[in-house]
Amino acid sequence: MSEHRIELTVNGRRHGATVEARTSLGEFLREELGYTGTHLACEHGVCGACTIMLAENGNGGQAVRSCLMLAVQADGAEVTTIEGLAEADGSLHPVQQALRDNYGLQCGFCTPGVAITLAALTADGARPEVEDLEAAMSGHICRCTGYQGIRRAIRQLTGTAQPAGEHA
Amino acid sequence: MNAGVPFRRMVGKRAPRKEDARLLTGRGQYTDDVRMPGMLHCVFVRSPVARGMITALNLEAARELPGVHAIYTHADIGQVPIQLMTFFFTPIAAPISLLANGRVACVGDPVALVIAESRAIAEDAAALVELEIDEEVPVVTISDAARGALVHPGTESNCSQEMGAAEIPEAVQAILDKAAHRVTKTIRHQRIAQSPMEARACVASFDGAEELTIHISCQSPHFVARYVSTVLGVPQEAIRVVAKDVGGAFGLKNMPWREEMAVIVAAKLFRRPLKWIEDRFESLTASSHAREQEITLTAGFDAEGHLLAAHGDCSINNGAWPMGEDCNIAVHMFMWPAYKLPAYSFHTRGWYTNTMGLGGYRGPWALESLIRETLLDDAARQIGIDPIELRRRNLVRREDQPMTTGMDITVTDITPYECLEKLLSEVDVAAFRKEQAAARKSGRYLGLGVTTYVEPTAVAGIMTPLTGETAQVRIEATGKVTAMLSTHSQGHGMATTMAQVIADRLGVAYDDVTVFDSDSAIGSYSPGAAGSRQGVIAGGASWRAAELLADKVKRIAAHLYNASPETITIEDGMIHIAGAPEMSRPLREVAEIAHGEPFRLPEGMETGLEAQYRYQPPPMTFTSAAHACMVEVDPETGFVSIKRWVSSEDCGTIINPGIVEGQIAGGLAQAIGQVLLEEMPYDAHGNPLAATFKDYLMPAYTDIPDFEYLHANTPSQTIGGMRGVGEGGAIIGPPTLVNAIADALAPFGPLDVALPLSPHRVLEHIERAEAAVRLEEAI
């Protein structure tokens, strides 16, 4: 089994490590670096729970499934995991806040991936339409919420609806 | 109730969830996040065939792989005596062992357990295990089970449980024979993979000879401690179970099963902490499944559509190793309490087959609502009466209660009729019918499903594991409040709702209350999440414990400040004395004295500020609901799109509407999955055919509409007046959607209900009807 030396930045911190070629980025982040907020739920690229943000060669952050990418492929990349989303002072990222305001999570296992995808699509002042964010959510499975709170969070993020469920 | 404590209105508020601060920032602690010094990783070798004798199990090559520490088979694990139990703490009847003992009885049967440095190495080693099985023809379906070989040689029959009789009793038959209208309906309910996003997981560590620590993805650390203790026959005080965060459970995780128990036993034998994390392939094919059942219901009505009698016959495909041999008697028990039905008889059977065993799933008896509510719609069409009117004529109303219906279930405060009327105030049925008629003229098929149901929640004191709940509440010397609960959350938000209750009843700020509920070392026994109980029973326990504590604070304050206890109130963490605003004190002052200056307390009073209450609620607390769903079915593609869904439920006192609606929505999403998408099929050789989330279709964002909620708030007879709401959506959801689809497709004749109603099946239905029309025209 071949081993490779990689260097990458995770949540602004530089890390160097030797990894087996077969180790997925998700497993590496969890097992080697301790970023256990990244959850591996299907490990075949369908559920989206393991989504992280990846920037390479000056590209803006893209939402990437860390179960479908090998750690060696992230050599030189800048990775943002769920642990890196909130401000240093603890204040939540607007996506995290919108999910919290709208009961967008229950068990929380799929949540890191959902939050990262929404954060990647709203990064750098991007103003996506509701439809863009909803289309991206088709790549995430949540077993608890029926997606109701995620949908309200998307409306809050795009300024298209009232927060919370005071409609009833 | 204590009228002296001001109601702070946290109960009923959409308080932000306390859990979210950690779960949204990646700081949760799920079982796979637990690391222990010296911990090794486990992977199971599983049977690739459904049935046969193991003729060779060669571990040599696997054992030689660097990083492999041990490979255990039944010969090793079986040295530790165990007795696997059902959820009800009765012995499993099947000849079960943790790892296969010579025979395999389903695909996925665990055969060996690899222990290695890493999960990857353990998986490599598992692939090197040479397993040979002399394959036999498996028994896969219920009809196979009735005719085929014994799944467990040595047992008497593949029918492991049977209640009632196939013959309809004369008394019921006589009524059915004379009925003006007789309606029969059959439903085939597919097999479901519960599929929590976090699959099963555990870490087991034997600490010295007499202590065992288990981190496990479960529904109650207390239940797991009791279960492991019972199965292993070791004293429970040696076992500590921790489940800080659980990534969904839905009934699957209400008890540890063969894999978790095998890992625990292996940890005992190998004397190193062991971790097992189930992967998705295993979760889909080798975690206990749910639901696979067939039911036929016949009901007789008089000329005006009043129910006269009914007979139900149900069979359940339990698989080889169910978490309990079960014939789902609850389907029959809870079929009719909401309706005035003079006579009901039933026959119900549970069958062994060479498929994965069944376990729990949200609303395990939900088939009763599905068959009853779909039959009522069929009956309405047959009798020529509006389906809503048919329900109005038969539902139990407030003035009918108390009423004992069907199977000796007495209802005293159910409100399905009232929920229905409330629903209809929001849903304009007449306008929909007009739209539907117009749409049909242009070849568009719209449908409306309206259903009602009741559900027993918070069952306590009538079944072994289903007990009351304990709340321990204390005011720390800092004035902050800590509560320790016997209940448990897997996303239910107990740290939020229980803090709301305690803040209200104690008179402190919501932010000052912290709730712990994830460790068998705190609280007391309870089954955690089981049968929609947490809000009701843990809520009642928290409610009363906080009141008891408030009383103590008042007695101390009265003594300290020379006032009478009745004049004292606690609000926002401040103690006030009526008529003496200058005497207001922070609660912290009393707390400091209670903890640190015992000589200042009233004579004989216990020091500290804590109270404990174990709440034993009524045996059952009923929740009622009525739902409406509107769909459009595309006759070209067979796709069903849900246009609107309105829930009108009565779960009594609502602690947090955001959390109540979240429970309803989650259940409805699972219902939509069951009706339209999800299926774990088996082929004739006993192979499970949905091994990934590409094959097992979980409901996705675009499959689920916006739900609308109407809440009735009829207080129950429990402390606080709550009613359970965890399972309801998964129970009333399926018939609501099926009825809407059947209504849309009514021009094509009665819908054969075999779930899921996939586009393929919907098209088949349409094409069959069109072929019949063509045939008629040809003749």
Residue range B566-578, pLDDT digits in tens: 999 999 999 999 9
Give B-chain residues touching A138 at CB under 8 angstroms.
Answer: 700-702
Cβ under 8 Å to A: B residues 645-664: 657-659, 661-662
CB contact under 8 A, A146 and B668: yes
Tell me: pLDDT of B625 over 70.
yes
Q: Does A28 touch chain B (CB under 8 A)?
A: no
CB contact under 8 A, A143 and B197: yes
The residues in A 81-120 lying below 8 A from B, measured between CB atoms, are 81-83, 85-86, 92, 96, 99-101, 103, 105-112, 115
For residues B334 and B777, which has the higher predicted lDDT (pLDDT)? B334
Contact call for B198 and A46, based on CB within 8 A: no
Measure the CA–CA gap between A148 and A157, rounded to whole angstroms: 14
Residue B96: partners with Cβ closer than 8 Å, 6 or more residues away: B84, B258, B321
Judged by a CB distance cut-off of 8 A, whether residue A67 touches chain B is no
**pLDDT greater than 90 at residue B82:** yes
B665–A148: do the CB atoms touch at under 8 Å? yes
Residue B28 maps to a domain: no
Written as one letter, the residue type at B121 is: I
Q: In chain A, list all ranges with CATH 1.10.150.120.
A: 94-157
b/e sequence B490-506, b meaning 16+ C-beta within 10 Å? bbbbbbbbbbbbbbbbb
Q: Are A36 and B33 inside 8 Å of each other by CB?
A: yes
Query: Shortest CA distance to B771 belongs to which of B447, B439, B763?
Result: B763
Residues of chain B contacting residue A142, judged by C-beta atoms under 8 Å apart? 197, 701
By C-alpha distance, which of A25, A17, A126, A13 is closest to A70?
A25
Separation in Å, CA of B706 to nearest CA in chain A? 6
CB atoms B23 and A143 under 8 Å: no
Q: Do A36 and B657 make contact, defined as CB atoms within 8 angstroms?
A: no
CA distance A122 to chain B (A): 17
Task: Say which CATH class A3-84 falls into.
Answer: alpha beta
Contact A107 B246 (CB under 8 A): yes
Cross-strand pairs, B348: B163, B314
Q: How many helices (H) and strands (E) does chain B have?
A: 20, 29
- DSSP states of B566-580: GGEEEETTEEEETT-
Q: Chain A partners of B698 at a C-beta cutoff of 8 Å?
A: 47, 141, 143
Task: Say if the Cβ atoms of A107 and B197 lie within 8 Å.
Answer: yes
List the single residue in B with minimal CA-CA distance to A86.
Answer: B25
Cα–Cα dist B670/B193, whole Å: 11
| Residue contact A145–B662, C-beta within 8 A | yes
Assess whether pLDDT exceeds 80 at residue B600: yes
**pLDDT tens for residues B433-464?**
999 999 999 999 999 999 999 999 999 999 99
Please report the pLDDT score of residue B7 as a whole number: 43
* Architecture in CATH for domain A94-157: Orthogonal Bundle (1.10)
Check CB contact under 8 Å for A146 and B665: yes
Confidence of residue B8 (pLDDT cuts 50, 70, 90): low
The amino acid occupying position B732 is: I
Rounded distance, CA B704 to CA B182, Å? 36
Give the minimum alpha-carbon distance from A90 to chain B in angstroms, rounded to a whole number: 9
Q: How far apart are CA B144 and CA B138, in angstroms?
A: 9
* Mean of pLDDT over chain B: 95
User: Using CA atoms, how far apart are residues A59 and A78, in angstroms rounded to an integer?
Assistant: 10
Chain A nearest CA to B29, separation (Å): 8
Q: Hey, are the CB atoms on A137 and B666 less than 8 Å from each other?
A: no
Are B419 and B270 part of one and the same domain?
A: no
Whether B509 and chain A come into contact, CB under 8 Å, resolves to: no
**Residue linked to tokens 């989504």:** A51
**Does the distance separating the beta carbons of B14 and A164 come in below 8 Å?**
yes
Residue A164 has pLDDT above 80, yes or no: no
Q: Is the dihedral of CA B745, B749, B755, B756 positive or negative?
A: negative
**Are B272 and B409 in a shared domain?**
no
Contact B724, B652 (CB under 8 A): no
> Which of A40, A112, A137 has the CB atom closest to B701's CB atom?
A137
Helices (H), B613-704: 657-672
- What is the per-residue pLDDT across B41-51, written as a single tens digit (0 to 9) for each? 999 999 999 99
pLDDT band for B679, please (50, 70, 90 cuts). very high
- Which residues, 6+ apart, have CB-to-CB distance to A10 below 8 Å? A29, A33, A35, A79, A80, A81, A84
Here the CATH number for the domain that contains residue B331 is 3.30.365.10
User: pLDDT per residue over A103-162, tens digit each?
Assistant: 999 999 999 999 999 999 999 889 999 999 999 999 999 999 999 999 999 999 999 875
pLDDT at B155 over 90: yes
Q: Does residue B106 belong to any structural domain of this protein? A: yes
What's this model's pTM, rounded to 2 decimal places? 0.97
Q: State whether B247 and A107 contact (CB < 8 Å).
A: yes
Residue labelled with tokens 């009228």: B3
* DSSP state, residue B711: E
B198 in contact with A at a CB cutoff of 8 Å?
yes
* DSSP code string of B455-484: EEES--SSBTTB--EEEEEEE-TTS-EEEE
Which of B24, B534, B710 should be substituted to probe chain A, the one whose Cβ sees the most A Cβ atoms within 10 Å?
Answer: B24
> Are B433 and B494 members of one domain?
no
pLDDT higher than threshold 50 for residue B4: no
| Domains identified in chain B, total number | 3
Q: Which residues of B touch A140 (CB under 8 A)?
A: 701
Binary contact (B24, A107; C-beta < 8 A)? no
Query: How would residue B498 be classed by pLDDT, with cut points 50, 70 and 90?
Result: very high
- Interchain contact, B245 vs A108, CB within 8 Å: yes
Residue ranges, comma separated, of all CATH 3.10.20.30 domains in chain A are 3-84
Q: Which residue of B has its CA nearest to A38?
A: B26
The answer as to whether B676 is a domain residue is: yes
Asked if pLDDT for residue B114 goes beyond 90, the answer is yes
Shared domain for B258 and B314, answered yes or no, is no
Q: What is the pLDDT of residue B406?
A: 67
Strand partners, B85: B91
Q: Does B699 touch chain A (CB under 8 A)?
A: yes
**Searching chain A, which residue's CA lies closest to the CA of residue B663?**
A145
With an 8 Å Cβ cutoff, are B711 and A168 in contact? yes
Binding-face residues of A in 124-163 toward B, CB within 8 A = 134, 137-138, 140-151
A43 touches chain B (CB under 8 A): yes
Q: Does B696 touch chain A (CB under 8 A)?
A: no
pLDDT at A166 over 50: no
- pLDDT at residue B494 above 80? yes
| The pLDDT value given to residue B210 | 82
What's the average model confidence in pLDDT over B76-90? Answer: 95
Residues B594 and B737 in one domain: no
Q: In this complex, is the C-beta atom of B442 within 8 Å of any C-beta atom belonging to chain A?
A: no
Read off the pLDDT band of B3 (50, 70, 90).
very low
> Is residue B466 domain-shared with residue B450, that is, in the same domain?
no
Domain that holds residue B753: 293-458+620-773
Regarding whether B429 and B520 lie in a shared domain, the answer is no
* B204 shares a domain with B68: yes
Given a contact cutoff of 8 angstroms between Cβ atoms, the answer to whether B359 and B252 are in contact is yes
Distance separating alpha carbons of residues B615 and B536, to the nearest angstrom: 10
Mean pLDDT, range B586-614, rounded to an integer: 96
Is residue B555 a part of any domain in this protein?
A: yes
Tokens read off for B337: 């309490």
pLDDT confidence of residue A167: 44
Query: Which residue does chain A place closest to B671, by CA atoms?
Result: A146
| Helices and strands per DSSP (H, E), number in chain A | 5, 5
Claim to verify: residue B327 and residue B384 sit in the same structural domain: yes
User: Which of B286, B310, B332 represents a domain boundary (last residue)?
Assistant: B286
Contact flag A142-B32 (C-beta cutoff 8 Å): no
CB contact B247 to A (< 8 Å): yes
Closest CB from A92, A110, A166 relative to B197: A110
3-state DSSP call for residue B396? coil
- Note the pLDDT of residue A163: 47
Domain final position from B615, B639, B661: B615
Query: Quick one: B117 and B265 in the same domain?
Result: yes
Q: What is the pLDDT of residues A51-84, one digit of tens each?
A: 999 998 767 789 999 999 999 999 999 999 999 9
- Please check the confidence at residue B408 and state whether its pLDDT lies above 90: no
Do B89 and B212 reside in the same domain of the chain?
yes
What is the helix (H) or strand (E) element at residue B381, kind and residue range? Answer: helix B367-383
Strands A3-10 and A78-80: parallel
> Are B624 and B570 in a shared domain?
no
Choosing from B240, B267, B286, the residue where a domain stops is B286
Q: Which of A23, A70, A95, A103 to mutate to test the interface with B (most CBs of B within 10 A)?
A: A103
- Hey, are the CB atoms on B669 and A147 less than 8 Å from each other? yes
Does pLDDT of B506 surpass 70? yes
Q: Report the DSSP beta bridge partners of residue B53.
A: B103, B134
Question: Is residue B21 a part of any domain in this protein?
Answer: no
ipTM of the complex: 0.96
pLDDT of residue B460: 95
Q: How far apart are CA B702 and CA B723, in angstroms?
A: 31
